[in-house]
A and B are shown apart, each in its own frame.
Chain A
Amino acid sequence: MGALFDVLTDNFDELAGGLWVTLRLVGASFAIALVVGTLVAALRIAPSKWLQRLGGVYVETFRNVPLLVLLFISFAGLRRAGVPISNWAAGIGSLGLYTAAYVAEVLRSGVFAVSRGQIEAALSLGFSYGATLRRIVLPQAFRTVIAPLASITIAMIKNSAIVGVSLLALPDLLKEARIVQSRTFQTDEAFFWAAVGYLLITASATIAFRRLERRFAIRR
Chain B
Amino acid sequence: MANSDAGGPLVELRAVRKSFGDNLVLDDIDLAIAPGEAVVVAGPSGSGKSTMLRCINGLEEIDSGSVRFDGRPVDPRSKSIGPMRAEIGMVFQQFNLFPHKTVLENITLAPVKVKGIEPAAAQARARELLETVGIPEKAGASPADLSGGQQQRVAIARALAMDPKLMLFDEPTSALDPEMIREVLDVMRELARGGMTMVVVTHEMGFAREVCDRIVFIDDGRIVEQGPPAEFFAAAKSPRAREFVDKIIHH
A interface residues with partner B (beta carbon < 8 Å): 115, 117-118, 120-128, 131, 135-136, 139-140, 143, 216, 218-220
Contact = CB atoms under 8 A, between A and B. Distances in A.
Given A126-B83, A126-B86, A131-B113, A219 B96 contact: no
B82 A118 contact: no
A148 to B, nearest CB: 18
B113 A123 contact: no
A127 B96 contact: no
Contacts of A126: 82-87, 110, 114-115, 162
Contacts of A128: 82
Contact of B85 (A117, A125, A143, A216): A125
B88 interface: yes
15 contacts: A120-B59, A124-B57, A124-B59, A124-B88, A124-B159, A125-B86, A125-B109, A125-B159, A126-B83, A126-B85, A126-B115, A127-B113, A127-B114, A139-B100, A218-B100
A118 to B, nearest CB: 6
Contact of A121 (B84, B87, B92): B92
B189 to A, nearest CB: 22
Q: Is the interface on chain B under 10, 10 to 19, 20 to 34, or 35 or more residues?
A: 20 to 34
Contacts of A125: 85-86, 109-110, 114, 158-159, 162
Contacts of B109: 125, 135
Contacts of B89: 124
A193 to B, nearest CB: 42
Interface core residue of B89, B92, B98, B113 (most chain A CB under 10 Å): B98
A44 to B, nearest CB: 21
B39 to A, nearest CB: 18
B194 interface: no
Nearest to A140: B100
A216 B97 CA distance: 16
A219 B99 contact: yes
Contacts of B100: 139-140, 143, 216, 218
Contacts of A143: 100
Interface in B50-87: 57, 59, 82-87
Contacts of B115: 126
Please list the 4 inter-chain residue pairs (A to B) with the smallest Cβ-Cβ separation, ordered nearest first.
Answer: A126-B86, A121-B96, A125-B110, A124-B90
Contact of B98 (A118, A120, A131, A219): A118
